[in-house]
A and B are shown apart, each in its own frame.
Chain A
Amino acid sequence: MGNFIEIKDVTFSYVNDYDDPPTKNTVIRGVSLEISKGEFVAVLGHNGSGKSTLAKMLNAINLPETGEVIVDGMKTSDEARLYDIRKTVGMVFQNPDNQIVATVVEEDVAFALENIGVPPAEIRERVDNALKTVGMYDYREHAPHKLSGGQKQRIAIAGVLAMQPECIVMDEPTAMLDPIGRREIMNTIKQLNAAGVTIVLITHYMDEAAEAGRVIVMDDGRVIADDTPKKVFSKAEMLKAVGLDVPNVTELTHRLIDEGLDLPDDIISEDECVERLYELLKKG
């Protein structure tokens, strides 16, 4: 009995058939990772670092060129288990418009359930629960195309939630949302994780990654860091070298440390930053 998700020395290439002879673009160059049930993992990396490609390997959208990915004991290359793998790992993508198929919100959330033959009464219950979880229950009879981007994204998440997956992989789910939409999605993620759902969150927002339990940094198809957010973000220079950043409060404390102030180099939350600066600046 291994880990919930095991990625074993995986590589992946995109083949460009337009070129003659076809050219190969290798984007994953030997990645091994284990993810336990119930973890909240953030994956960082600049555009083109291979993180989305890797994410799509977790539910067999992409199959490894070499190596293997095992989800809850199932090899993703085992076509006979495809259905179970996709039931175990759900995916949410960046653009909500590409993920919505129906003309009524609740029908959209029910779409996959109808496809797999869930009884109507249970569909009703699961759809209602999913919509309540993402705070969109009041909009169940609305037309998705009339909703805002943030609302649409929450519908897309509800559609995945209704399938009751054990793990949800989200590929930049907040990229198109406003701050309140982002906060709602982050709250939804934390709430799901607290309820036991394994979360893999791909993001370009450092403050979102700071809220995860573990941060994986990818560069050029390899994992270059895999640790707690505090440990990863304290390596500001390494992150900047690969086109990433640190949360603003981390950047500020690092600059103050450079000025000779005595501050810890692993401040990643606003609360911590306020506390430390207050101690430093208070009178007497």
Chain B
Amino acid sequence: MGIIRTENLTYIYGEGTPFRHVAVDCVNVDIDEGEIVGIIGHTGSGKSTLIQHFNGLLKPTSGKVFIDGEELFADKSRLKEIRFKVGLVFQYPEHQLFEETVYKDIAFGPKNMGLSDDETDRRVKETAKMVGLGAELLEKSPFELSGGQKRRAAIAGVMAMEPKVLILDEPTAGLDPRGRDRILGMIKEYHAEKGTTVLLVSHSMEDVAKTVSKILVMNDSKVFMYGDRSSVFAKAEQLTEMGLTVPQVTRVFDRLRAMGIGFDDEVFSIDYAKDLVMRLLKEKRGESVD
């Protein structure tokens, strides 16, 4: 059984009012420990509502959520404990920085968990380093940092709690290309080093393509599919219909295939695309020699 599992999870906003809206509709997912998963879906598809169930911010209208084998809300006294297992980084997390210093902000979560000062200190230093914030920044006010640094400080605050599952909602929104690459690189590194489960909610198929191994697609409050990268991007047409896009290179090669260039590969990175073109050219030359 996976680290996150839902059973017929349903959530309805505004039940009993004219604004009633089924935001999550009978969702069954089972995410294995250690996976790095991209969650995609158009605005309003239910992905934010879904992830808010994973650490008990929302209580299902019906259905169940299991974290690490334990049902959320089954025993209220266990709720806090289970919540510590799932760290949630919201959109624009830097808006939630509030402490006097970067150090105190990162330490806030671990302290709340009741960890000793020594352990808190170890974690603050380790995560600050992991997100690329130098020791000289730790005593600064978070408000003196640049946008990208603030974002990384806020993410470090959740990482320092060492959750078994780290969920990030649009962590690269509003960042420039270098800032985006930096955050994504940091998430991959964190995943590789800690082996924790990571869920990455993103609108950017390019980001998803270069970071995750599996993709969960939400559409109209339901799970459209959950599978590995290539199997999801192979459904380019359906994804486009539901308002999503596959990476630009994937589109280019889907079109080339449709125009009669023969290859079976699913292309979702520039490196792969380059190698494929070189290979196809070689094959072409080989054939014309025969």
Contact at B270–A278, with CB atoms within 8 Å? no
Partner of A281, one of B148, B173, B261: B261
- Segment touching B, from A111-119, A223-231, A243-251: A243-251
| B231 CB, nearest partner CB in chain A, Å | 20
Contact of A247 with B248 at beta-carbon distance under 8 Å, contacts A148-B43, A172-B174, A178-B42 already known: yes
What 0/1 readout, one digit per residue, does chain A (257-284) give for beta carbons within 8 Å of chain B? 0010100000000100110011011110
Return chain A residues, CB-CB under 8 Å to B197: none
Please tell me the size bucket of the interface on B: 35 or more
Contact at B175–A47, with CB atoms within 8 Å? yes
- Segment touching A, from B132-140, B158-166, B273-281: B273-281
Contact at A248–B178, with CB atoms within 8 Å? no
A22 lies within 8 A of chain B by Cβ: no
- Count of chain A to chain B residue pairs whose CB atoms are closer than 8 Å in the complex: 117
Please measure, in the bound complex, the distance between the C-alpha atom of A226 and the C-alpha atom of B92, giving whole angstroms. 31
Contact at A204–B174, with CB atoms within 8 Å? yes
Contact at B274–A46, with CB atoms within 8 Å? no
Contact at A179–B281, with CB atoms within 8 Å? no
| B15 CB, nearest partner CB in chain A, Å | 15
What 0/1 readout, one digit per residue, does chain A (67-83) give for beta carbons within 8 Å of chain B? 00000000000000000
A176 lies within 8 A of chain B by Cβ: yes
Contact at B248–A248, with CB atoms within 8 Å? yes
Contact of A179 with B203 at beta-carbon distance under 8 Å, contacts A47-B147, A48-B147 already known: yes
Contact at A47–B176, with CB atoms within 8 Å? yes
Return chain B residues, CB-CB under 8 Å to A259: 274, 278
Measured CB to CB, the nearest residue on chain B to A172 is B174
Contact of A46 with B173 at beta-carbon distance under 8 Å, contacts A148-B44, A150-B43 already known: no
The 3 closest A-B pairs by CB, nearest first: A180-B243, A243-B178, A245-B177
Q: Which residues of B are in contact with A by a Cβ distance under 8 Å?
A: 19, 41-44, 91-92, 146-148, 170, 173-180, 203, 205-206, 243-245, 247-249, 251-252, 255-256, 259-261, 270, 273-274, 277-278, 280-281, 284, 287
A-B contact pairs, 12 of them (CB 8 A): A47-B179, A176-B170, A178-B203, A204-B176, A207-B248, A252-B273, A252-B274, A256-B277, A274-B252, A274-B259, A277-B256, A281-B280
